[in-house]
Amino acid sequence: MKEQRHIIYRGQVQGVGFRMTTVRIAKGFHVTGYVKNLADGSVELIAEGEREEIRSFIAELEERMEANIREKTENRIVAAQAHSDFSVHLADGLENGRLR
């Protein structure tokens, strides 16, 4: 069964290549969704796919970025299947990944 994970990462997660690393890792898995910087300094991740595929993707991301992640908030829901790929989204109030 496909599911969606909504995760907020806090810590030193902006300005360290977190989004690009996430996209590169996602290319190795059958997941769709997006990653974006939020105005409060956190990063939002939406990932959809088969449960095990998402688990493996997130495990690799968190292992790679563990020095930067201080806190994680996660919610799981049934996948909306609203995404056709995995990409970086710019957040409201941000321009080129930086606060305006």
CATH of the domain at 66: 3.30.70.100
Please count the structural domains in the chain: 1
Instruction: Give the H/E segment covering residue 8.
Output: strand 2-11
Of these residues, 37, 68, 96, 100, which one is catalytic?
A: 37
Taking CA atoms, 11 is separated from 37, 51, 75, 92, in Å, by 12, 26, 18, 20
Q: In this structure, what is the dihedral angle of CA atoms 34, 76, 71, 97, given to the nearest 10 degrees?
A: 20
Q: pTM of the prediction?
A: 0.83
7 falls within a domain: yes
- 63 pLDDT exceeds 90? yes
Of these residues, 19, 24, 51, 98, which one is catalytic?
A: 19
- Residue 10 falls in the annotated catalytic set: no
- Residue 70 falls in the annotated catalytic set: no
Q: What is the DSSP letter of 54?
A: H
Reading the block at residue 35, the tokens are: 């990653």
Domain that holds residue 77: 2-86
Question: What's the pLDDT band for 97 if we cut at 50, 70, 90?
Answer: very low
